[in-house]
A and B are shown apart, each in its own frame.
Chain A
Amino acid sequence: MTTEQADKGQIGLSEEVDLKIKEIIEEGRFDHEQDVYRLAIAIALAEDLEPAPESRAYKTKFNVGSLDPEHSLRTATQYLRIDHGGRPQAMMERLAEAGVEHIHSHLNAGKPLHELLVKYARADDSSTEEQTADVDEPRA
């Protein structure tokens, strides 16, 4: 008989990626690590990034309640990543890990931040429609 593992209430990053988020902060673009962390999850979902392995040693950084008080990230993860295995918050952590690496790698290549962000801009261009067409079904 298997017992279901409880979801995480505290999430964070691996030691290695924690250094990367610190580097991003030091460069002065973001005010707090939380701002990067939330963006990393959102980008990981948007880019359909492969979540980092669950087996990594994650160092606790945030309480999910404080990080996502409206449950927006949790709900989006739960809906968009049906492979969360009943543990959407653990999935958020794995997505954050992948997302921070993605952001760090972009900035580390000397590319400006706005180049990374501009494709998510929705205001009055057609990018929103293109994205809608791309993502019409929940991802497995």
Chain B
Amino acid sequence: MIIRQLTFSNFLIFKGRQTLDLDRGLYVIHGETGFGKTTFLNGISWALLGRFNDRQGARVPDAVLLNQHAKKEQETEVLVEMVVNVDGEESLVRRTYDASTGVAHLYVRKGETTLHQDDAERFLRGVLDREVARFFLFDGEDLRRYEEMLAEGGEPQVREAVEHILGLPALMNAVTDLRAVAQDFRKKATSATRQEGKAEQAVLYSEQTEKGLDAAKEDLAGLEAQHVDQEVRRDQAEEVLGRDKALNQVLIKRDSMRSKVEELEKARDATVDRRQEALKGTWEDVLAGVVAPAQVAIEGDLQAAEHRERDELVIEKLNDSLSTGTCDQCSQPLHGDAADHINKDIEELRSGLPRPSRDLKDLRRIALALMGVKSTGRLNDAVSEDKRLGQLDRDIVEQKQMLSGLTVEAGPGTESAVRKATEQLENALKSLGFIEEKIKDAKEAVATASATLREAQLAVQKLSTSTESATLNARADTAEHLADLYEQAIGIFRDERRDQVGKDASEIFLGLTTSDEATGLRIDKNYGLVTLDSTGTPVPGRSAGQEQIVAFSLIGALNKNATRTAPVVMDTPLGRLDRGHRANVLKYLSDMADQVFLLVHSAEVDDSDLNEIRDQIVAEYEMRKEDEFYTVIERRQIG
């Protein structure tokens, strides 16, 4: 496949409609970090595969694809469109997403025929399968990961993907078909023997076994259908969870804020209780404040009244002395001017008598009652609790406003949708595991039933004497023999292809590496590649740069041996390489595939690097950033 034209419209950072006319060969696209190199790669992935992942491996939801400026300008459509040439035929591939409806759509016009949505997806899978795509559309960071994945005991799906590129599954289908043909002949032969009226028991057993096999196959097909259903459910759930990833963050924030509000409200309730408790005794403190001066006044009055009482008693005694003419102290008769002195004392005492507001008894009663009015200190508690409560109320209002903002941001129903999708994903994964176990058992049951049937059919064959039955069995034998031969041939072919991939990878590697010690690569059954030294001994351990060179070699070899080729789009693949390796890789790129897009930043590749391969470059493009949400892709004029 060759991309002849590529158009982005409001796809993430690519605002408006931007079109690149392309052909075979090497394209270099320059862009600094954050300018849109990865977006370029992701746009192609999205158009061809309907999805792409972020660097953490999480699927990026369609809902976030619309350019921010376009969104503000009320535009709703995201589009990536390609004119592709597949096996000499031009097709138009257009994938869109409407942000207002949340609907994604794929349009494919193959030649003059517009394909239905399902056929369109099938067409694209044929052009570039999702598992295969990782060897064509990749990020520099992925390079080392591929080599790790392909190491001994690596992921089986990667091995399958490699074999898919090499065209092995299509060959395996032929074996399956031949075995089905053989089985059909055997059935017919058994049926012919029944018509002969011979070997009734054996025919009956064979037919029952056939039914058993059919049932086992049906079970297997049912389980495989269930597996597909669960995969769909898993994908749907992942889509929802992916779309709501950003919203999930909002929900986490909202939940944390909700807990904070709850805590504040609890603190508020406790403060309300403490304030109520404090307010019960507040009146006593207020009253104590009011009464305090009165207590002082009463105390003064009381002292005055007691003073008066004492003085009045003295006056009374002096009056008694005057009336009796006898001193009240010594009981001697009063002499001379003593009476005058006593009269003077009485006069002085009378003039100095204090005048309390109430009588002594009354004052004592009041003093006693006022003594009961005491400060409890709860007024201060009430004041501080009330202040604290005011602050808490303000905090709660503020937090609730923020919470309300976050709730609006999260949108209605998000939480339940996320919860439902999480549940669906868990169930789907659980079911998939369970179904896979059952599929394994069902496959064993099919194999056992097939073997039993084969024995029953052989028994029938021995007892049959008809020519028709013999002919049918002979045909079945031929078909089976062919299938066996084919299987052996595929095995040999697989080994040859693998060896070829190994040889090609080794050759590419030797062209790329700057090491004098390495003499090549050796491929293992999992398509893992080990570096060999001059003695042909595997070299343990490789640097990150070397791992990248090995990964480049494998990708190059796979592209060389692929039954169907696709453009190679590489985002920042040279970052870990030293100058020597970088120069070698750059020289090799135009041979790597029919069409190669190299996305680089200025620190990764400079003009002097590119000058070495200028004649191999069809065109260079420059990503120019207008603002945070707007990058323009412009053709760079050279020389």
Contact = CB atoms under 8 A, between A and B. Distances in A.
B373 interface: yes
Interface string A45-66: 1100000000000000000000
A122 interface: yes
A79 B297 CA distance: 11
A113 B279 CA distance: 10
Contacts of B17: none
Contacts, number: 123
Contacts of B280: 31-32, 35
A120 B283 CA distance: 10
B405 interface: no
A138 B294 contact: yes
Interface string A14-34: 000000000000001111100
Interface string B281-312: 01111111111111011100000000000000
Nearest to B288: A122
Contacts of B286: 39, 42-43, 46, 117, 120
A72 B369 contact: yes
A39 B279 contact: yes
Nearest to A45: B290
Interface of B is mostly: helix
A22 B556 CA distance: 86
Given A29-B275, A46-B290, A80-B294, A72 B284 contact: yes
Contacts of A112: 386-387, 390
Interface string B353-381: 00001000000001001101101010110
A63 B559 CA distance: 101
A37 to B, nearest CB: 9
A79 B286 CA distance: 16
Contacts of A105: none
Interface in B331-354: none
A131 interface: yes
Given A76-B291, A79-B370, A112-B390, A30 B383 contact: no
A70 interface: yes
Given A28-B272, A122-B289, A76 B370 contact: yes
Nearest to B386: A114
Most buried by A among B279, B292, B373, B377: B279
Interface in A103-122: 112-114, 117-118, 120-122
Contacts of B510: none
Contact residues on B (Cβ < 8 Å of other chain), bracket: 35 or more
B47 interface: no
B289 A79 contact: no
B256 interface: no
A4 interface: no
A84 interface: no
A6 interface: no
Contacts of B289: 46, 120, 122, 128, 131
Contacts of B466: none
Given A117-B382, A123-B380, A132-B293, A31 B279 contact: yes
Interface in B539-568: none
B294 A76 contact: yes
Given A72-B372, A79-B366, A118 B383 contact: yes
Contacts of B366: 75, 78-79
A78 B287 CA distance: 13
B324 interface: no
Interface residues of A, number: 40
B401 interface: no
A8 interface: no
Given A113-B386, A114-B390, A117-B379, A71 B369 contact: yes
B386 A137 contact: no
B33 interface: no
Contact of B297 (A45, A113, A136): A136
A30 B292 CA distance: 26
A87 interface: no
Interface string B101-117: 00000000000000000
B434 to A, nearest CB: 56
Most buried by A among B282, B296, B380: B282
A31 B279 CA distance: 8
B547 to A, nearest CB: 69
Contacts of B383: 114, 117-118, 121
A75 B275 CA distance: 27
Given A29-B279, A76-B294, A121 B380 contact: yes
Contacts of B298: 79
B478 interface: no
A73 interface: yes
A42 B290 contact: yes
B283 A35 contact: yes
Contacts of A114: 382-384, 386-387, 390
A118 B286 CA distance: 10
B276 interface: yes
Nearest to B298: A79
Contacts of A117: 282, 286, 379, 382-383, 386
Given A117-B382, A121-B383, A128 B290 contact: no
A132 B294 CA distance: 9
B292 A132 contact: yes
B287 A45 contact: yes
B283 A42 contact: yes
B283 to A, nearest CB: 4
A47 B272 CA distance: 26
A128 B287 CA distance: 12
B279 A30 contact: yes
A137 B288 CA distance: 16
Contacts of A98: none
A137 B287 contact: no
Contact of B293 (A29, A32, A43, A136): A136
Most buried by B among A71, A72, A138: A72
Given A41-B283, A72-B372, A114-B387, A137 B291 contact: no
Given A29-B279, A120-B285, A122-B292, 14 more contacts: A28-B272, A32-B280, A35-B276, A39-B282, A70-B372, A114-B390, A117-B282, A117-B286, A117-B382, A120-B286, A120-B379, A121-B379, A121-B380, A121-B383
Which 4 residue pairs spanning A and B have beta carbons closest together?
Answer: A75-B369, A42-B286, A38-B283, A114-B386
22 contacts: A29-B276, A35-B282, A39-B279, A39-B282, A41-B283, A45-B290, A46-B289, A78-B366, A113-B382, A114-B383, A117-B282, A117-B386, A120-B286, A121-B383, A122-B285, A123-B380, A131-B293, A132-B292, A132-B296, A135-B293, A136-B293, A136-B296
